[in-house]
Amino acid sequence: MTQTRTKDMLVLVDESDNETGTMEKLEAHQKGALHRAISVFIFDGHGRVLLQKRHIGKYHSKGQWANATCSHPAPGEMPFMAARRRLQEEMGFDCPLRFLFRIVYRHDVGGGLTEHELVHVFAGTYDGPVRPDPSEAEGYQWMDFDTLAADAKRQPELYAPWLRIYLQQHGEQLRAAAAPQG
């Protein structure tokens, strides 16, 4: 019998973000169970947004462009700490983050899997080197925010569903966060 590692367990929540239990990651996505997630947007000093191309080996949304980091807190881990940890693990750097908003969404991502997440969304500004973990991201790019928003409408299949949802529902808030610093 194989034991499930803590990092493979998701924190189940209700729509008010009260914890209701835990569930193995794949099972939660198969059942469409509402779980806690984190998402990080990184902007450079020119207001461009950092995108990662999801590794082709991911079990959903593979090869699509997403914001810098999207993941799940481990049981007992605060969303802010998970965001900092996963930014370092996925993109190879750390920077100060600020909370932007919380969102609940449900989306069929294909293959019998459903993302049903209550997401804590954070943003940061960073102008240093990016060193993505090749098992997480096949590549990255910096893109002007308005160019991203327009391209996600024009070619939605290129972008992860949650990124498109954030752009649709919180586009103005993200645009404000992207405003060049200084």
In the three-class reduction of DSSP (H, G, I as helix; E, B as strand; rest coil), residue 160 is classed as coil
The structure tokens 């308005």 sit at 146
- Per DSSP, the residues of 41-84 read EEE-TTSEEEEEEE-TTSSSSTT-EEESEEE-PPTT--HHHHHH
* Per-residue tokens: 181: 């610093």
Catalytic residue list: 70, 117
Q: For residue 60, give the nearest of 160, 134, 132, 147 by alpha carbon.
A: 160
Q: Pick the closest to residue 92 from 162, 25, 148, 139 (CA basis).
A: 139
C-alpha angle 134-90-120 in degrees, rounded to nearest 5: 150
DSSP alpha helix (H) spans, the chain: 25-31, 79-91, 145-154, 161-178
